């Protein structure tokens, strides 16, 4: 996608409260569909989701600050891109679609693991997801869609670990869980992405 098309994405609305998400059981089997707003209401209803970590050629992670208009965790920092497959979509397709919609980027995303979690934001809403975690690398600069992204930045792992230790309240709960798991259970794989490319 060229620069002109990327610029056109910057204010495009790409999320809708009535879009159908995929409900799953504890084994990630599809059991139905429910609109996004209802999936996140009250204690949340378990649905399929994904989180993508995109690294640049220098081995730095792209962080995204969520839009102030998000109903859950607005203005919190999180991983590069996280969202949901819609009814009829594969997770791989949703990862590609959403990365391009939010940041105007493309990557060959590598699936790492999936896990289930529940995080309560307030009395009105929560995340209850069975989340697929991916890693990717991209040399392009992000072109943030301002309806989804308040800001974005690249950070090296040393500075990220320090910031997470000093200010954990600035980050989304799923990002903290995923980064901890990647560092504990997938160190060798993660190292491939966090090491700078050889010139």
What amino acid positions are annotated as catalytic residues? 82, 129
Task: Count helices and strands (H / E) in the chain.
Answer: 6, 9
User: Contact 153/24 with Cβ under 8 angstroms?
Assistant: no
- Measured between alpha carbons, how far is residue 104 from residues 80, 89, 107, 144, 157 in Å? 12, 20, 11, 7, 24
Q: Are 102 and 145 in contact (CB under 8 A)?
A: yes
Torsion angle in degrees (nearest 10) through CA of 167, 162, 125, 44: -150
């Amino acid at each position: 996608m060229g620069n002109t098309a990327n610029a056109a994405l910057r204010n495009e609305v790409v999320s809708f409260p009535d879009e159908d998400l995929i409900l799953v059981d504890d084994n990630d089997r599809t059991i139905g569909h429910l609109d996004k707003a209802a999936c996140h209401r009250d204690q949340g209803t378990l649905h399929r989701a994904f989180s993508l970590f995109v690294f640049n050629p220098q081995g730095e992670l792209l962080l995204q600050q969520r839009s102030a208009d998000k109903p859950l965790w607005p203005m919190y920092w999180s991983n590069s891109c996280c969202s949901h497959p819609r009814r009829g979509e594969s997770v791989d397709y949703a990862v590609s679609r959403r990365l391009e919609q939010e940041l105007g980027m493309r990557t060959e995303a590598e699936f790492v693991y999936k896990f289930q979690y529940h995080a309560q934001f307030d009395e009105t809403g929560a995340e209850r997801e069975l989340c697929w975690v991916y890693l990717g690398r991209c040399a392009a600069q992000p072109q943030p869609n301002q309806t989804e992204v308040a800001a974005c930045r690249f950070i090296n792992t040393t500075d990220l670990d320090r910031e997470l230790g000093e200010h954990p309240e600035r980050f989304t709960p799923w990002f903290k869980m995923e980064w901890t798991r990647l560092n504990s259970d997938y160190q060798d794989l993660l190292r491939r992405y966090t090491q700078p490319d050889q010139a």
